[in-house]
Structure 1
């Protein structure tokens, strides 16, 4: 169109902007769904982080063509676009959660069909969207990742905690083993030292020098000889005195 209507230009720019800012875009066909069904679908997708919009296929083709996205094969029939952005509470949404919400709604409303989409720079077909809906939610994947990272760290921390304990046990075992081996030696040494001292004390008495013994016996013999001489001389001196007195008496009588 040489002179497109401003409202159409605005719609094309809106679609382009949403394609550029959305984390992912899923194209669905809503043929046969009632207004009530579409309202319920929008509510469930908003909770999952998706925005559900219905545009004319011609305007969407212009927007995707300007972005070099080849999606014309999916833009046939009553088409709606689901843009993955933020959840109703403001937290980021993810394409897996939105795909799960669409698949869950399609189970009770078979008229809703996921046809294709865009994830980053990759184009998704219907089979890829079905596989994407089977992936665990983002929160669950993060929890698994955190658990997988925490397990080795916990094991490593347990190992580090066990090293001092094992060292303490080993040191205690060495101490106990050393005490047990030293105990008999110390017990055996205790009687040896007094015995050695006693032998050293008794040794001079048992091995007396013969010269010292002779010297000790000589004074004793000398004392004994002196006493004998005194005893021999005393009676002799007494006899001589008696004889002298007898001679004096005889002379006086004469």
Structure 2
């Protein structure tokens, strides 16, 4: 069923509002992904303060151009869904990457940093998506810093017992 011009204008206005509230927009190809699986992804994204919307590529181009973002989504392959995130790319790259890894047919296509109005390369999004969470990285850093101190403590404790 074709949508009317008024409906398209409403979609564009709502998209502009979402874009203004976002820091990052990632584009995904959801072809072949079931509705229930997309529902699971939407729930995960909601927890990460993001939302996914299916918007026609032509309308996405209008939304981005009107907001001053120089990116043309019409060149993207497949059925495109836009993920609008209020935070940074690090907040949503992981959940989307993990979902793409476990669901055949779902793929990350690229992204845009809305605040800086620049494209985010696909390889950078994938690299960020493979990183562990911030909490895990902090724990690893603390462990790395504490290991030599712990070793020194054991040596000093051994010397004091002799």
Partner of 1:81: 82
- Correspondent of 1:106 among 87, 100, 103: 100
Correspondence 1:133-152 to 2 at 5 A: 133-140=129-136
Q: Is the contact between residue 51 and residue 82 of structure 1 (CA under 8 Å) also seen in structure 2?
A: yes
Structure 2: segments with no counterpart, 5+ residues: 147-162
Indicate conservation of the 8 Å contact 2:18/2:84, yes or no.
yes
The partner residue of 2:126 within 108, 112, 130 is 130
What corresponds to 2:21 in structure 1?
21
Confirm or deny that 1:7 pairs with 2:16.
no
> Which of the pair has the greater relative contact order for Cα pairs under 8 Å at 6+ separation?
2
More strand by share: 2
Mark the CA change 1:143 to 1:52 in structure 2 (over 3 Å): closer, same or farther: same
1:49-87 CA-partner distances (Å, limit 9, x unpaired): 2211111112111111222422335544311011112xx
Deviation, structure 1 residue 8: 1.1
Contact 2:71 2:112 in 1 (8 A): no
CA distance in 2, matches of 1:141, 1:71: 35
Per the TM alignment, residue 29 of structure 1 is displaced from its structure 2 partner at its CA by 0.4
Tell me the TM-score normalized by structure 2: 0.72
Question: Structure 1 pair 141/69, CA: closer, same or farther in 2 (3 Å)?
Answer: farther
Larger Rg computed on CA atoms: 1
Is the contact between residue 57 and residue 76 of structure 1 (CA under 8 Å) also seen in structure 2? no
SS of 1:116's equivalent?
strand
Distance 1:55 1:106 in 2: 19
Report if aligned partners of 1:96, 1:136 keep a CA contact under 8 Å in 2.
Answer: no
Instruction: Tell me if structure 1 keeps the 8 A contact 2:58–2:74.
Output: no
Structure 1 position 47, deviation (Å):
1.8
Q: Distance in 2 between matches of 1:138 and 1:94?
A: 12
* Aligned positions of 1:122-201 closer than 5 A: 122-140=118-136
Counterpart CA distance in 2 for 1:135 and 1:29 is 22
SS of the residue 1:83 aligns to:
strand
Retained in 2: the 8 A contact 1:26–1:116?
A: yes
The equivalent residue for 1:38 is 38
